[in-house]
């Protein structure tokens, strides 16, 4: 009987080894709907543009310089929006989804090692307790502890962060065994203790007692970290000079047996603070990640990297194993760069008035690019969103910053088994230990106290002058030149033929903190816009550089849409928010009359666009209210964040402004969070954001009132229907701004002084329009 059972087990194992580690599902219905929409919408756009162009080539007695200018501005805006729409269809051409089967992976002894990179910069904006929760969740992943190494980059050099690491290491001795013993899914302690439903599968007095003991220890851990934050140095040295600090966090013991036992049961934890001097550029997050690449090369030298933001914890301990299902597949692994999971958020309200969960990015854009691997398994071109870098089989590789990722080669042109040492030093810098690690398949001795020389070498690798005269940031590691190092690096690497896959399991793999107030949301959007436009106006513009380097034009379209959409949105939306309204105030028609056959064309284009957007929102599991929120936020960001971010990028291009980076605030304001959860906008933000939005809404309110007057008293409904409808739609979608100016009295309203200033700006717009168009 035992032999029969053994034979059955062996047979099951053999069958499991033959089963695929992952499968891919093609969404045929979505493909049919998307391509049908593309066909009919394209035809309508051709007719619309023909109608506009015909105005300039056919004689019209009503044509004047004023009307010609207005028509020209609207025509250019319609061309830009049409071009943007065309680029965006590359994401919708062939959407697919993937499922991984981590239970089919080989045994732990055959799994490769993984380094986890976590970046933080400012403990005042990124609270230490929250950062340590991310560290603990990474340490507690369902992965062999001796093959897991966690690195924290502290760009602020704050003492409280280093002390927090020590406390996290101490608490991990209790937290990790508890998670393993009971199979806890959510392994960030703060999130776990806040979600009682996690305990639904457990019972018994022993578990309850253990849980209470761990919770008590966690409260002590938080108290100790906060005490050190109170009495210690909480000030970030983000803008100050400071030396490099590399420290392996471990128990103080001289007993090698104890250290070796801890290595087997506890992941390695390393604190990294790179050197900063005002005389040397530090390249923001890209520079910090490149330092982590070098330091980890001489300490753990793992072939894979998981990149995490400091506020993003592992919500499913199997995430690394799920990613390995793709990378260990011999059919795609030789050229697989990374495995991406969508970043989801734990603090999003049901209403999500700021569209903080970025539905279009994670449910449409990235999923839409997933198709390339299916169509061209030999033509490697899947695009990825935010990225990181790693090293695999003597090669540096890239991975998604906000997802669990695997590999992509960054240095295939520089590393060879018999490479010239001098050329390697010119590319990678003067560290012999690091160059040796490029060819080293085994990681260095994990008992770091025996390798003091390695820590001294790590200090050199983290120095600010190490990259001088090397290829770091140019051809090696993360690319410099944009504050969005992830996008820029991903584009450069995918141009070299590497691929990525996207996996969206039912359970979120990672949960982060979304923005919950308007100020943080618009500031973040401005920073992202600046980074994207940096690439768009450089020699690496995807429309110019991409077609010459990528294997298909579709990939270039994907990257071009991301790089250009801020420009292709803010210019047309500023035009559509002002020109039709000013012309309506001055009695100049810009659109066909209701009785004109082209009225159907304009109506079809509008209804086709919003109905397709509504379909995408509903088909991805969201609601009609979320569709309204996305429409509103799209308008708000286009006239503010996209404008300022684009201007910032152009100013940097001509040398009038230096690049800058400010981390998104992760500290929750109680009042702002309360308003967010209630679905009420908080307008406590810069006047630079408020004034344009309020001024445009006031202008649209005035033009709508005049338009209604024309309809009622002059009977011009047929002539001005579309121009009356446009301000009505703007007012309807932006009602929270109207409410913030005229109705609300709480602290989150738009200040009366801003409302007055916006009204003055609207009057200026009107007089300028009167001068130009009359």
Q: Which residues are known to be catalytic?
A: 155, 486
End-to-end CA distance of the chain: 98
Residue by residue, DSSP assigns 126-150 as: S-HHHHHHHHHHHHTSSS-GGGEEE
Token code pair at residue 369 = 């690019």
Cα angle for residues 166, 169, 170 (degrees, 5° grid): 90
Q: Count of alpha carbons within 13 Å of 116, Cβ hemisphere only?
A: 31
* CA 195 to centroid of chain Cα atoms: 26
- Collapsing DSSP to helix, strand or coil, 667 comes out as coil
* Surface-to-core class of residue 54, CB atoms within 10 Å of its CB (0-12 exposed, 13-18 middle, 19+ buried): exposed
Q: Are 491 and 328 in contact (CB under 8 A)?
A: no
Q: Are 390 and 293 in contact (CB under 8 A)?
A: yes
Q: Report the run of H or E that residue 22 belongs to, with start and end.
A: strand 22-26
Q: Which of 207, 369, 487 is nearest to 198 (CA)?
A: 207
The answer for residues whose C-beta is within 8 angstroms of residue 388's C-beta and 6 or more apart is 117, 289, 305, 307, 398, 399, 400, 401, 405, 478, 486
Q: Are 395 and 406 in contact (CB under 8 A)?
A: no
Tell me how far CA of residue 198 lies from CA of 311, 327, 568, in angstroms: 21, 30, 45
Residues 720 and 589: their CA atoms lie apart, in Å, by: 6
User: Residue-wise over 14-41: b if at least 16 C-beta within 10 A, else e?
Assistant: eeeeeeebbeeeebeebbebbeebbeeb
Tell me how far CA of residue 717 lies from CA of 61, 239, 464, 726, in angstroms: 22, 60, 67, 13
Residues 392 and 304: their CA atoms lie apart, in Å, by: 6
- Collapsing DSSP to helix, strand or coil, 376 comes out as coil
Residues 709 and 357: their CA atoms lie apart, in Å, by: 41
The single-letter DSSP state of residue 363 is I
Quote the radius of gyration of the chain (alpha carbons, Å): 28
Tell me how far CA of residue 130 lies from CA of 43, 142, 250, 274, 321, in angstroms: 52, 21, 21, 22, 25
Residues 291 and 153: their CA atoms lie apart, in Å, by: 9
The answer for residues whose C-beta is within 8 angstroms of residue 26's C-beta and 6 or more apart is 94, 96, 371, 374
């Amino acid at each position: 009987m035992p032999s029969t059972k053994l034979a059955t087990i062996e047979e099951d194992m053999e069958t499991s080894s033959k089963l695929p580690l992952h499968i891919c599902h093609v969404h045929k219905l979505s493909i049919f709907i998307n391509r049908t929409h593309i066909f009919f919408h394209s035809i309508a756009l051709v007719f619309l543009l023909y109608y506009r162009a015909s105005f300039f080539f056919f004689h019209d007695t009503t044509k004047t310089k004023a009307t010609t200018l207005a028509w020209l501005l609207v025509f250019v805006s319609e061309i830009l929006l049409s071009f943007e729409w065309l680029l965006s269809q590359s994401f919708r051409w062939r959407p697919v989804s993937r499922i991984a089967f981590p239970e089919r992976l080989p045994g732990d002894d055959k799994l490769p090692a993984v380094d986890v990179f976590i970046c933080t910069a400012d403990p005042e904006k990124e609270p230490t307790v929250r950062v340590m929760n991310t560290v603990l969740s990474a340490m507690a992943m369902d992965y062999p502890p001796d093959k897991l190494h966690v690195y924290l980059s502290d760009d602020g050099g704050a003492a409280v962060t280093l002390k927090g690491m020590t406390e996290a290491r101490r608490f991990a001795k209790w937290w990790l065994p508890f998670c393993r013993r009971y199979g806890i899914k959510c392994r960030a302690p703060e999130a776990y203790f806040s979600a009682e439903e996690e305990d639904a599968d457990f019972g018994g007095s022993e578990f309850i007692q253990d849980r209470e003991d761990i919770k008590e220890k966690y409260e002590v851990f938080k108290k100790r970290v906060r005490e050190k934050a109170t009495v210690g140095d909480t000030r970030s040295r983000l803008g100050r000079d400071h030396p490099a600090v590399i420290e392996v966090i471990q128990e103080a013991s001289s007993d090698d047996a104890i250290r070796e036992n801890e290595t087997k049961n506890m992941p390695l934890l390393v604190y990294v603070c790179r050197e900063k001097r005002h005389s040397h550029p530090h390249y923001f997050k890209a520079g910090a990640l490149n330092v982590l690449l070098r330091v980890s090369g001489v300490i753990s030298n793992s072939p894979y990297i998981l990149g995490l933001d400091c506020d993003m914890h592992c919500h499913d301990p199997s995430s690394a194993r799920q990613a390995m299902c793709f990378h260990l597949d011999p059919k795609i692994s030789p050229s697989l760069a990374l495995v991406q999971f969508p970043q989801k958020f734990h603090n999003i309200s049901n209403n999500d008035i700021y569209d903080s969960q970025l539905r279009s990015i994670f449910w449409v854009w990235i999923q839409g690019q997933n198709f390339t691997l299916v169509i061209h398994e030999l033509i490697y071109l899947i695009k990825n969103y935010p990225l990181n870098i790693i090293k695999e089989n003597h090669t540096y590789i890239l991975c998604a910053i906000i997802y669990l990722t695997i590999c992509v080669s960054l240095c295939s042109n520089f590393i060879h088994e018999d490479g010239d040492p001098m050329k390697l030093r010119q590319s990678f810098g003067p560290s012999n230990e690091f160059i040796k690690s490029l060819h080293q398949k085994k990681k260095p001795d994990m008992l770091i106290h025996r390798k003091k020389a390695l820590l001294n070498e790590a200090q050199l690798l983290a120095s600010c002058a190490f990259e001088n005269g090397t290829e770091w940031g140019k051809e090696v590691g993360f690319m410099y030149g944009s504050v969005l190092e992830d996008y820029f690096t991903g584009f450069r690497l995918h141009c070299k033929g590497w691929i990525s896959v996207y996996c969206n399991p039912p359970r979120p793999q990672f949960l982060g903190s979304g923005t919950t107030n308007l100020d943080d949301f618009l500031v973040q959007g401005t920073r992202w816009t600046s980074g994207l436009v940096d690439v768009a106006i450089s020699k690496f513009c995807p429309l110019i550089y991409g077609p010459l380097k990528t294997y298909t034009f579709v990939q270039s379209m994907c990257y071009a849409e991301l790089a250009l959409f801020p420009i292709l949105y803010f210019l047309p939306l500023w035009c559509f928010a002002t020109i039709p309204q000013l012309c309506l105030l001055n009695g100049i028609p810009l659109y066909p009359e209701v009785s004109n056959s082209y009225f159907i064309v304009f109506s079809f284009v509008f209804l086709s666009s919003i109905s397709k957007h509504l379909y995408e929102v509903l088909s991805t599991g969201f609601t009609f209210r979320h569709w309204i929120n996305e429409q509103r936020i799209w308008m708000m960001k286009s006239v503010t964040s996209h404008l300022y971010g684009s201007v910032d990028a152009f100013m940097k291009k001509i040398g009038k402004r230096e690049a800058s980076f400010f981390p998104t605030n992760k500290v929750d304001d109680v009042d702002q969070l309360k308003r967010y959860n209630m679905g009420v906008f908080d307008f406590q933000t810069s006047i630079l954001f408020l004034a344009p939005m309020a001024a445009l809404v006031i202008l649209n309110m005035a033009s709508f009132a005049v338009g209604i007057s024309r309809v009622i008293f002059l009977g011009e409904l047929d002539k001005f229907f579309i121009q009356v409808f446009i301000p009505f739609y703007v007012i309807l979608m932006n009602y929270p701004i109207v409410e913030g100016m005229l109705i609300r009295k709480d602290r989150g309203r738009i200040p009366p002084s801003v409302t007055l200033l916006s009204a003055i700006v609207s009057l200026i717009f009107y007089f300028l329009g009167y001068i130009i168009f009359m």
